[in-house]
């Protein structure tokens, strides 16, 4: 005897042979058409990175961009020696922000000792970008300033003169950027590379100077060894 209640599966669910016979006799409503899903269309991948896309989801955030600009500007505030005139002195030096140290070089063209010191200051300015370095012709800053005192370095902070160094010999028998840096930071943390936010202690700055000096000596020694090996 046939089992008319045999269950089988199809796309629209489960049914029985008995239900199919009843539908043919008109005792049951027609079977619902089989469900057919809409054709698959891949959704647009908004997370897919292209060459024009930012590296992360926050790159275009206005707050993040402003923070990066502020941080970059703080670290790269200066980076070179600024040439000023007498009329610029108050604005560029005396009225500089309180968290900025200003190193002023009084010089004159044609004086070799001035050239030596300015070269050292140029190197320091590139390393300590949060410290402001300016140069001004001596008599433009102080009328009748004696040439025998050249070069002279004035150190300002918060509108006040903190130190002055007269003559090249102040910086040692052999004037080097490292020697100049040590003298500038004798009593105050004058040199700032921007990474400490202007809050570095004098001891920390001096330790950084020593580290830079040792690294420079090692590099020069390695370059000398390479040159000797190639001869």
Under a CB-based contact definition with an 8 Å cutoff, are residues 128 and 182 in contact?
no
Pairing of strands 132-137, 81-83: parallel
Distance CA 67, CA 175 (A): 39
- Position 37 in a domain: no
pLDDT at 95 over 90: yes
pLDDT at 9 over 50: no
Query: pLDDT digits over 80-94, tens only?
Result: 999 999 999 999 999
- Position 184 in a domain: yes
| Separation in Å, CA 125 to CA 128, 185, 193, 221 | 5, 14, 9, 24
CA-based radius of gyration for the chain: 38
- Position 71 in a domain: no
The least confident of 50-54, 65-69, 109-113, 217-221 is: 50-54
Q: Which residue has the tokens 């200066």?
A: 78
The least confident of 55-64, 85-94, 176-185 is: 55-64
**Tokens in use for 175?**
């004037």
- Position 45 in a domain: no
Which residues share a beta bridge with 194?
Answer: none
Question: How high is the pLDDT of residue 53?
Answer: 52
Find the CATH number of the domain harbouring 113. Answer: 3.40.30.10
Most confident listed range (52-66, 144-158, 163-177) = 144-158
**If 0-12 CB within 10 Å is exposed, 13-18 middle and 19+ buried, where does residue 93 land?**
buried
- Position 62 in a domain: no
Distance CA 127, CA 193 (A): 6
- Position 54 in a domain: no
Domain boundaries, position 132: 76-230
* Tally of domains within the chain: 1
Residue 90: which of 134, 149, 122 has the closest Cα?
A: 134
- Position 93 in a domain: yes
- Position 188 in a domain: yes
pLDDT at 29 over 70: yes
Count of other CB atoms within 10 angstroms of residue 182: 18
């Amino acid at each position: 005897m046939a089992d008319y209640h045999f269950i089988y599966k199809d796309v629209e669910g489960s049914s029985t042979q008995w239900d199919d016979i009843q539908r043919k006799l008109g005792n049951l409503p027609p079977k619902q058409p089989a469900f057919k899903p809409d054709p698959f269309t891949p959704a647009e991948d908004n997370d897919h990175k292209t060459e024009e896309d930012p590296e992360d989801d926050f790159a275009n955030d206005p707050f993040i961009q402003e923070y990066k600009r502020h941080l970059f500007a703080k670290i790269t505030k200066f980076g070179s020696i600024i040439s000023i005139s007498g009329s610029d002195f108050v604005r560029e030096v005396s009225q500089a922000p309180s968290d900025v140290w200003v190193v002023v070089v009084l010089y004159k063209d044609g004086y070799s000792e001035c050239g030596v010191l300015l070269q050292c200051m140029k190197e320091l300015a590139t390393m300590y970008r949060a410290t402001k370095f300016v140069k001004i012709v001596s008599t433009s800053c102080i009328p009748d300033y004696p040439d025998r005192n050249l070069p002279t370095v004035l150190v300002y902070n918060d509108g006040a003169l903190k130190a002055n160094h007269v003559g090249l010999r102040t910086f040692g028998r052999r004037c080097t950027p490292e020697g100049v840096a040590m003298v500038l930071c004798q009593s105050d943390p004058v040199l700032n590379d921007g990474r400490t936010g202007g809050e570095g202690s004098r001891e920390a700055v001096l330790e950084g100077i020593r580290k830079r000096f040792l690294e420079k000596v090692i590099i020069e020694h390695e370059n000398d060894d390479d040159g000797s090996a190639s001869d």
